[in-house]
Amino acid sequence: MSIALTTQIICFTVLSLVVIIGALGVVLLESIVYSAFLLGGVFMSVAGLYLLLNASFVAAAQVLVYVGAVNVLIIFAIMLVNKKEDLKPIQDIKSRRIISTSICLTLLSLLIRVDLTNVWSLSSPQNSVGEESTIRIGEHLFSDYLLPFELASVLLLMAMIGAIVLARRDVMNKDISTGLPVDQELIEKSSKPLLTNKS
């Protein structure tokens, strides 16, 4: 076994463990801020796995799009919405956990089945796409996968607008001129006696 192959195996093992542990932390940690930062680590580790596959363009796109845009957007949304509020108890929490766990285990079993039933053949270096990978990705992205690409951008825009609305809901519930909540101002106006002209 050569030094290069040993290095690749070590890097793949470390990056895979970081992806698995980070993904579990994203799901299981109660602090949403820690989950967001762990999600950034997962994205970076996936980019490292792409580098091991000689997919440098996909790795750069992973860092720029997911780490630099999506994860930062998630962190900003958390910072805007994260208010110190008491958590209310969730009804039927046990049944929800059972349902979500069964769905996750079903998806995991399907992935394992696909992995074990398919024959994964390694491509030779002679069949490598090389520098033409960027051209092929661009062709597929703007032809075959144009609709999912545009839908993803619309989804990100909706998430950003929703985060702004949730973060500014305390201001939106107040009247700009008086600073009072809209409901309270209506109550005060309705409770005042009506002025009648005395003749």
Q: What is the 3-state secondary structure (H, E, C) of 34-103?
A: HHHHHHHHHHHHHHHHHHHCCCHHHHHHHHHHHHHHHHHHHHHHHHHHCCCCCCCCCCCHHHHHHHHHHH
> What is the pLDDT, as a whole number, of residue 109?
94
On whether both 3 and 72 belong to a single domain, the answer is yes
Residues 74 and 5 grouped into a single domain: yes
Within a domain: residue 177?
yes
88 in any annotated domain: no
Total residue count of the chain as it appears in this document: 199
- Cβ 173 vs Cβ 181: under 8 Å: yes
- Domain end (from 79, 98, 119): 79
Query: pLDDT averaged over the chain?
Result: 78
Residue 30 lies in a domain: yes
Average pLDDT over residues 128-142: 75
Entry pTM: 0.62
Instruction: Decide if pLDDT at 191 tops 70.
Output: no
Residue 184 lies inside a defined structural domain of this protein: yes
Q: Output the pLDDT for position 199.
A: 44
**Domain encompassing residue 140:** 133-192
**Within-domain flag for 124:** no
Residue 192 in this model has a pLDDT that exceeds 60:
no
For 34, 74, 78, 156, the CA distances from 162, given in Å and listed in that order, are 21, 12, 12, 10
Domain count, the chain: 2
Rounded Cα distance, 136 and 193, in Å: 74
> Which of 16, 47, 79 is at the close of a domain?
79
For range 47-69, the mean pLDDT: 87
Q: What is the pLDDT of residues 66-103, one digit of tens each?
A: 888 888 878 887 777 655 555 566 677 788 889 988 99
Alpha carbon distance 122, 5 (integer Å): 14
Residue 149 has pLDDT above 60, yes or no: yes
**Residue 193 or 25, more confident:** 25
Which pLDDT value is given to residue 122? 66
Residue predicted with more confidence, 77 or 117: 117
Sign (positive or negative) of CA dihedral 88, 92, 98, 103: negative
C-alpha triplet 117, 121, 127: angle, nearest 5°: 150
d(CA 8, CA 2): 10
Contact 149, 139 (CB under 8 A): no
Question: What's the CATH code of the domain at 44?
Answer: 1.20.120.1200
Tell me, yes or no, whether 151 lies in a domain: yes
The conformation of residue 181, written as its DSSP 8-state character, comes to B
Residue 19: pLDDT band (50, 70, 90) is: very high
CB neighbour burial string for 126-139, b if at least 16 within 10 angstroms, e if fewer: eeeeeeeeeeebee
Residue 66 lies in a domain: yes
More confident: 176 or 24 = 24
Average pLDDT over every residue of 105-118: 91
Predicted local confidence at residue 97, as pLDDT: 84
